[in-house]
Amino acid sequence: MFFRADYIPTSEGWLYLAVVIDLYSRKVVGWSIAEHMTTPLVNDALFMALKTRSVQEQLIWHTDRGSQYASDSHRELLAEYGILQSMSRRGNGYDNAVAESFFHSLKTELTHHMKFETRRQAHQSIFEYIEVFYNRQRLHSFSNYMSPVDFENLLLLNEMRA
């Protein structure tokens, strides 16, 4: 899984969005929004991902080198679930290209075209972008121009047939 957080401007101030992306399907499997870039923001996104995915093998959790990911509570959460932590090399955005691509899409398809008056308005728009559009409708060249949900469903169907 890949992880990254970024900021969303509103007239009330910044919101921070943290996302967890499944590397195989490109589906956003966990996300969290808060007014501050803190450890609870990243832990909440990871916990959401863990509730929607069963960890059956060694899970690799790739992040940048932010202090949130090195915090005691974050490392304890990783240890509790047996997750191996991987961090990007200093100053190398290519190490987290999948997450960088998601945020580029979010900005060009949503946030650069809207002026959010309230944090609540931004939260609702981001919810709809992730849960309705990005995961279920947006086509990805990586997955043969299927949405992440359709790609995963096809995988499940093929596994059931095998």
Q: What's the CA angle centered on 29, arms 122 and 98, to 5 degrees?
A: 85
pLDDT beneath 50, residues of the chain: none
Q: What pLDDT does 125 receive?
A: 97
Structure confidence at residue 157 (pLDDT): 83
What pLDDT score was predicted for residue 89?
A: 66
Supply the pLDDT for residue 107. 95
Structure tokens at 48: 């959401």
Provide the residue ranges of all domains of the chain, joining segments of one domain with +: 2-99+114-161
pLDDT at 106: 96
Please tell me the predicted confidence (pLDDT) of residue 3. 65
- Classify domain 2-99+114-161 by CATH number: 3.30.420.10
* The predicted structure's pLDDT at residue 60: 84
- Residue with tokens 């943290």, as numbered in its chain: 18
- Please state, in angstroms and rounded to a whole number, the distance separating the CA atoms of residues 15 and 7: 6
Q: Give residue 159's pLDDT.
A: 79
- The type of residue at 16 is Y
